[in-house]
Structure formats: structure tokens, C-alpha cells
Amino acid sequence: MRIADTQIEVVVFDLFGVLVSFDDDVVIARLARHCADPTDAFERLHKLTARHDLITGAASLPELHRELVAEYGLVMSFPEFEAAWLEPYHQPICGMAELVEALSRHYRLVLLSNVDRDYWQVVRAMHPELECFESLLVSCDLGIAKPDPEVFRHVCRLTGTEPHQCFFVDDTAQNVEAARALGFHGHVFQSVPELRAALAQANARGL
């Protein structure tokens, strides 16, 4: 089924792993080396940046700092911890900014990202190209995170569209499956050429 045939109006992009590559093990390593048992801390803190209470705004960096001091013997002041957390661990994926800019001439664009409030401010400051997006929806503001179906319903309410009018791009299959279950069109991102091919096959404009 071609995009043109389904009256797609909105293209929804994930951020990490789609617009920018990232390695959150970098920030975990920064913290773990200051813990009582660095090896144990690194293993147990895997995916800390994606922890649900952080990305939905239920927990703050000061709270996380106190937790790591108490449970892992972290020896860092809060300013040191905050600086380590906020030092960028992502970089743009080559070719995506150009693709987004081209699509923005023909479709309404929405960013839908799971991210904590503090690191989101880092991203905003580093990426003025996000101005191409009509809406920037982040889990820390929404209070919910992908793959919660309510996230995708919110996209539809905000844009005034039906699910079948939205095309969703994410690097996590579980998130794409959740969107598809509601009627979104979805693509699991692996590379820019594959995404371009998928959009071309769907007869997308602006390529």
C-alpha cells in the first residue's frame, strides 16, 4: 500500500537510534568508575538512561545521584555527577537531517522520544534542525513513554489525524509494533538507505 494511497499526513520520528546514534554505555562508564565496585556497577546500571521513572519525569537527577551514592558507593559530588550525565553521548546519523528537511516540505513532522528532562535540554541546544518538526513530544513532558499505546493516541489527538494517516519510524521493533497495533504505518529503522527505500516504495514525496 502506497503512502499516497493512504493519505499520510504526519511522519513521526524517534530520536535516539533514528535521528542520532548514541551509546549510553559511555555515560554509565563515566559513573561506574567512581563507584565502589566499578565492574559490578557498570553491569547493574546498564540502560540506566532509559529507566522508566527518569524518562517519564517521575525521578530527578538529584534523586538519582543520592540513590547511586547510597547503593553503589558513588564518589562524585552532584555537580560532578550532573556534568558526567549531561556530557553528550550521541551524534547525528549522516543523511537523516537532509531527509527530514526534505520530508518537512511535504508532510507534518512529529518527534516522539523517550528521554529524561535534563538530557533533552542538551539535545535541544545541539540540534537547531529540530525546528523542522511541528511538534516535539518527549516522555519526560508527557509522563508516559513508548511503547505505551497512549503515546500514539496522543500523537493523533494533537495532530487531529487518524492512526492510518501517520507513518512512524523507530529503531525499536516493540515500539513500531505498538504503533502498528493502533493502525499506524511503521518502519523499523536500521539505516538511512533502507528508510529511503521504504519511503520510496511507499511513494513518499520529497525524496
Domain boundaries, the chain: 3-22+91-201, 25-86
Quick check: 3 pLDDT over 60? no
Quick check: 161 pLDDT over 90? yes
Grid coordinates representing 172? Answer: 525499536
Angle of helix 78-86 relative to helix 61-72, nearest 10 degrees, comes to 110
Measure CA 44 to chain center: 22
Q: Determine the Cα–Cα distance for residues 23 and 2; give it in Å rounded to an integer.
A: 34
Mean pLDDT for 6-35 is 93
Q: Which pLDDT does position 6 carry in this prediction? A: 57
Q: Which pLDDT does position 14 carry in this prediction? A: 98
- Outline where the chain has alpha helix (H): 3-6, 25-32, 38-44, 52-55, 61-72, 78-86, 96-104, 117-126, 139-142, 149-159, 173-181, 192-201
Q: What are the residues whose beta carbons fall under 8 Å from the beta carbon of 180, sequence distance 6 or more?
A: 168, 186
Mean pLDDT for 174-195 is 97
pLDDT band, very low/low/confident/very high, at 8 (cuts 50, 70, 90): confident
Q: pLDDT > 70: what percent of the chain?
A: 97
Mean pLDDT for 142-156 is 98
Q: Which pLDDT does position 207 carry in this prediction? A: 74
Q: Which pLDDT does position 1 carry in this prediction? A: 45
Model confidence pLDDT, tens digit, residues 102-130: 999 999 999 999 999 999 999 999 998 89
Mean pLDDT for 137-160 is 98
Q: Which fold has domain 3-22+91-201?
A: Rossmann fold (3.40.50)
Mean pLDDT of the chain: 94
Model confidence pLDDT, tens digit, residues 33-88: 999 999 999 999 999 999 999 999 999 999 999 999 999 999 999 999 999 999 99
Q: Determine the Cα–Cα distance for residues 194 and 197; give it in Å rounded to an integer.
A: 5
Maximum distance among all Cα pairs of the chain, rounded to whole angstroms: 59
Mean pLDDT for 124-146 is 96
